[in-house]
Structure 1
Amino acid sequence: MPINYLALGDSYTIGTDVATTECWPRQLLNRLTNGGILPTAPEDTSLTIVAEKGWTTGDLLAGIKESDLLPAYDLVSVQIGVNNQYDGLTLADFKVEFADILGKALQLAGGDASKVFVVSIPDYAFTPTGGGQPSISEAVGVFNAAAAAIATRAGIIFCDIIVISRGGIREPALVASDGLHPSGLQYRRWVEEVLLNLVSTLLKG
């Protein structure tokens, strides 16, 4: 079965400061094919990423509108919101725009909610840049709770990777060389968490 995968997001989706092959959407697609989870040859897969470093929900909505996308995808992921929090944008606006993004993701998945999943925002307080600030953890938690509630209402899987991200201070290898973004190793652990949520859904297809 061919897999056309669309990943929507920001710097975490593109894998800032790691090799292109180490961003988590690419690692996920590789695990699905090379890991034998789906009977799909690597040459029968495609990955489209609509994401940029620093993007907020509003930026992502504009990016989706401006992108030349397929009518439908076999898998669509959404991970967005950290820059809304970092830039001090309102939670109310985030909720409206995030719901709009999920609506567009659902359309791009042919209306099948089982083909869409959300990945939580990591807790960047647990990086050298974040410095363990409790205020960051609290704020990220608020945005994640809002995203989880919106996804759940839409019948979309919410994959929570925040516990993994909180290993970044005690395990420096989980943080990229910029001291802020996850390393390829941390992304690999995210993929394992995503697979725990997705495998049964994917296999039934």
Structure 2
Amino acid sequence: MAQDKLLYLALGDSYTIGEAVDADKTWPKLLSDNLNQRGVKIQLDKIIAKTGWTTDELLVAIEDEESLKNTKFDIVSLLIGVNNQYRGYGIKQYEKEFELLLKKAINLAGNKVSKVFVVSIPDYGVTPFALENNKNSDLIAQELYKYNSIAKNISDEYGVRFFDITPISLKAIWKKDFVAEDKLHPSAKMYADWVEYIEPGVFQLLKD
């Protein structure tokens, strides 16, 4: 049977599965829907993501996923690292494992770097959860900046498109409806803002 839609694979953690929002309001699903409306026939074929996953856990999950063995995707996204920071994992571990994950993403995209994109880690330090639990918002911001700098530098080295949505996540400081009911994760409205920013670039990647 001939493939009539481009296949999209999303790799990540709670931000990719959209913890605390409806499945049709996650950013990968919104992105797919919007692209379809623009005439790009794309299907969110698979999501490999789980709340709480760190880079090493995502690596294991990809290795264990039998359905990936003989499948190549037309577009692959990667967003990972917040739980490394939250658990206090070392920067060096993130650097090493993020690069391994990016290599796997490229391989899953048929070794086409132009069909892979990375999304930055949002800043959860401004959420009610962080504030109510006396988290150090400044320290979280500083550490996530380091993580995102690593992800961007490695993405640049490989020629992979990097979308920095972290500034959008900061709007949660005054936009209370940008945070889900769990007081920690982005709401559907924030995800929609991410997609508004990401979509033109992904559209370009798929058209090239």
Q: TM-score category by the smaller chain?
A: over 0.9
- What does 1:154-173 correspond to in 2, within 5 Å? 154-173=158-177
- What does 1:53-202 correspond to in 2, within 5 Å? 53-67=51-65, 68-69=67-68, 70-131=70-131, 133-202=137-206
The 2-side partners of 1:200 and 1:52 are apart by 28
The 2-side partners of 1:65 and 1:81 are apart by 18
Q: Give the number of aligned pairs.
A: 199
Identity of aligned residues (%): 41
The 1-side partners of 2:164 and 2:39 are apart by 21
1:36 aligns to 2:38 (yes or no): yes
Unaligned 5+ segments in structure 2 are none
1:19 aligns to 2:17 (yes or no): no
The 2-side partners of 1:196 and 1:168 are apart by 23
The 1-side partners of 2:15 and 2:186 are apart by 8
The 1-side partners of 2:78 and 2:126 are apart by 22
Unaligned 5+ segments in structure 1 are none
1:195 Cα shift? 1.3
The 2-side partners of 1:26 and 1:85 are apart by 26
Q: RMSD across aligned C-alpha pairs, in angstroms?
A: 1.3
TM-score by length of 1: 0.93
- The one-character-per-residue Cα deviations of 1:11-70 (angstroms, maximum 9, x if unpaired) are 00000000011111111110110x2142x2xxx624200000000000000010111225
The 2-side partners of 1:45 and 1:152 are apart by 27
**SS at 2:129 equivalent:** coil
- The one-character-per-residue Cα deviations of 1:93-133 (angstroms, maximum 9, x if unpaired) are 11100000000000000011111000000011121112271
- Which aligned runs of 4 or more in structure 1 are off by greater than 6 angstroms? none
Q: Give the residue type in structure 2 aligned to 1:109.
A: A
Higher helix fraction (1 or 2): 2
The equivalent residue for 1:203 is 207
Task: Answer whether contact 2:122 2:169 (CA < 8 A) is retained.
Answer: yes
- CA 1:96/1:184 → structure 2, altered by over 3 Å: closer, same or farther? same
